[in-house]
Structure 1
């Protein structure tokens, strides 16, 4: 199909529109399509990485060198690339996870199938710093008394990914990328990068970078801003959650911005939903640390401009930390689970007896385990036995027992699940729907790295009719 080069805009642009197409790895696809078709966007960002997500992706890549990126990457690109190209919208995503290079090849293949030849696809790499962490005396930030180091984890370490900032993504855009695929880039940095590129913001203009970071922080969780996590039926009602619309921001060159959503989409965007998201995962609102800036949200001012439109001002900032937070994933044994249901009169009593049986079996038959839990789902799985008596005065007609335990070996983990399933014929009566599952447990810790030790590389490729060829490969210091 014929297409218009997106590239770097000619002349200054006073306001741009950025939308969020995903807030986590398994998010819905259709709200992103709605944004691509009707959001009048300059940029569509897919933020799909959590700390454990990267570590699990590294495991996938260890099993298959061509794997390690988000499993929904192809489907998302199939859905949004054509409307994005048609409307002149550029795409930024961290769906590259542990393998941005392989992810970029997938994007190129999708573009070719859609007839979007000539699409410029960039990868940002450098966040994989396993070689700088494994076997070193770097102190684990969440270790007891600062005594544990990466070296203490030995060969159990499978991944180490530094949180990169916005500059390499902005560089990819400056090189004309239509799609930018990254690994571990800090969530708000994905949104800050196009603002730095479009408006020429200096990487040391802390107030502007803080405002752009606030844009990213509000948008990064997608449907949380438009009422998804805010909703509490009867208390905080949000309309049409089944087709919740994802948010977008209109950003001016001075960093003033308004958050909104596509008119007619589901959900609700108000000062209340913005307030909840602004405080989400923020330990200190006056000192929100990112690779780009230390943002200060403590004097944020929200103005309700009308239905689903909130302006945000009052954000400022100062220089960022001298180090980069680095997530370290390591093998931590296996997690075994087993579940079984009981129904009818005495269901809770039978489920509690079943839990006692399994607990006795686990402690007397030689199964090696740690951290076992025995939960009655619907009774005490969340409150763990400390719920109010009034809440449990009426006994439920059905209940499901869940047993979970951590083991060092796969064999021991399978034995934990077998003890739950064996309740079928070994009492109490009426157990049904038993299941068991075992998975390797990947734990997450963190270290700090001096930022000068983490160089990044921007690589731009162009999809052409016959093949994908490298157009540029330039390291960024």
Structure 2
């Protein structure tokens, strides 16, 4: 039976590049998919685009394309990615320029617009699924609104001959499902196969997590060769059955246990995993170990898609100021706590308005407060973090911890500080008929 091989080139925006090169050169792929967006990533990308109209796409886009385009062109591999983030048009131009610089002529690049739904979101009051009660409560603080698109525009671009498809916000599994819908001609109401493709995409979307990266826990879940971790691929047939593997000789582990852990990643209800194209049901999925670093997936299903699409809203939520300083040796914890007490008093004295304040001694109570062993820590780091309404106040928090270097207590070192605007994220549902994806073209 004919199969299509899809490889995972990245699991987040800052992922390694070498495993994707390995897949492009040695993986025997039909498609290489780069999944690079998290919940707040696109809001931060929108913020970058506000400052520079040519910015707002993935920061590693050019480097990734420069490394993988030559082997992908040699081996007939098509690329699908959401590295367009807040600016798919600029991303596509950057890809075209990279291809031209490499001497790769005739590369057909499609980019998908339409996930930016800021206008309809601002035009009415919509209830929020999380965050403040409604979009009206956020008002002018809203900087972005992006709907999760499905497979349709990607499938259309592939059918029109795109070698590379660049999107903004889409459902993560849709990046992997779209090539399958295209290659096998699945109907967009074939809920069983669409559900299976969402399951396959969900397993692949985090790349190295499936091959033992995030899974690894020394002494409990030992994984070999993490420094040479290989990213996964899947051979998928027309029925939606998949055989997962990785390049021979690459590091990591691909097993039933790594697949089961990834299956449950970010899934609240395995009977109703809601995606733009289908409501997937994972409960009939079955894994079989088919050899070393080979796992077969059978089963999975789905039911009709919903009438709405999830939208992530990015909104301005004040500023964060942070400062850190280290203390070592006898009495390190006592000196760290004194430093934090002094800085807190200093912030009151100079009138810094702080709505939230957190004081941590990293290595003692930053993550887990409560009873601990009798041994005194000999190496700690004091951290103060505060939320403010202005950038100036946020900066003053960090400067006070830096001043502790000389102004006491004794033995502080390695002071650092930063101040940044907070772009928070909230979610809502938007009627599907208010979202209109479009496809645009470039060629190298």
Q: TM-score range by the shorter chain?
A: over 0.9
State the distance in 1 between where 2:21 and 2:405 align. Answer: 47
Identify the match of residue 407 of structure 2 among 417, 426, 442: 426
How far residue 364 of structure 1 moved from its aligned partner, in angstroms, is: 4.3
What TM-score comes out, normalization by structure 2 length? 0.98
State the distance in 1 between where 2:35 and 2:82 align. Answer: 6
Residue 109 of structure 1 is matched in structure 2 by 97
State the distance in 1 between where 2:326 and 2:238 align. Answer: 58
Q: Which has the larger displacement, 412-421 or 239-248? A: 412-421
Equivalent runs, 1:222-371 vs 2, <5 Å: 222-371=207-356
What TM-score comes out, normalization by structure 1 length? 0.91
Residue 202 of structure 1 is matched in structure 2 by 187
Residue 395 of structure 2 is matched in structure 1 by 414
State the distance in 2 between where 1:243 and 1:158 align. Answer: 40
Q: Deviations over 1:128-163 (max 9, x none)?
A: 01101125310111146xxx2112211111100000
Checking the alignment, whether the CA contact within 8 Å between 2:191 and 2:278 is kept in structure 1 is yes
State the distance in 2 between where 1:143 and 1:75 align. Answer: 36
Task: Please say if 1:61 is aligned against 2:42.
Answer: no
How far residue 361 of structure 1 moved from its aligned partner, in angstroms, is: 2.7
**Which sections of structure 1, spanning at least 5 residues, go unmatched?**
1-12, 464-477
Identify the match of residue 372 of structure 2 among 373, 389, 392: 389
Equivalent runs, 1:432-471 vs 2, <5 Å: 432-463=413-444
Checking the alignment, whether the CA contact within 8 Å between 1:135 and 1:150 is kept in structure 2 is no
How far residue 247 of structure 1 moved from its aligned partner, in angstroms, is: 0.5
State the distance in 2 between where 1:129 and 1:119 align. Answer: 29
State the distance in 2 between where 1:253 and 1:33 align. Answer: 27
Checking the alignment, whether the CA contact within 8 Å between 1:19 and 1:44 is kept in structure 2 is yes
SS at 2:186's partner residue?
coil
Identify the match of residue 138 of structure 2 among 138, 141, 153: 153
Residue 467 of structure 1 is matched in structure 2 by none
Checking the alignment, whether the CA contact within 8 Å between 2:93 and 2:442 is kept in structure 1 is no
Q: How many residues align?
A: 444
State the distance in 1 between where 2:163 and 2:285 align. Answer: 33
Q: Which has the larger displacement, 149-158 or 282-291? A: 149-158
**Which sections of structure 2, spanning at least 5 residues, go unmatched?**
none
Q: Which has the larger displacement, 222-231 or 109-118? A: 109-118
SS at 1:74's partner residue?
helix
Equivalent runs, 1:4-19 vs 2, <5 Å: 14-19=2-7
State the distance in 2 between where 1:201 and 1:174 align. Answer: 13
State the distance in 2 between where 1:294 and 1:369 align. Answer: 43
Change (3 A) 1:204 1:397: same
State the distance in 2 between where 1:161 and 1:183 align. Answer: 8
Q: Deviations over 1:291-337 (max 9, x none)?
A: 01111112211101111111111201101221000000011111100
State the distance in 2 between where 1:55 and 1:220 align. Answer: 20
Q: Deviations over 1:222-254 (max 9, x none)?
A: 000000000001111111111110000010000
Residue 166 of structure 2 is matched in structure 1 by 181
Residue 71 of structure 1 is matched in structure 2 by 59
Checking the alignment, whether the CA contact within 8 Å between 1:172 and 1:460 is kept in structure 2 is no
State the distance in 2 between where 1:412 and 1:135 align. Answer: 34
Checking the alignment, whether the CA contact within 8 Å between 1:192 and 1:213 is kept in structure 2 is yes
How far residue 286 of structure 1 moved from its aligned partner, in angstroms, is: 0.8
How far residue 426 of structure 1 moved from its aligned partner, in angstroms, is: 2.6
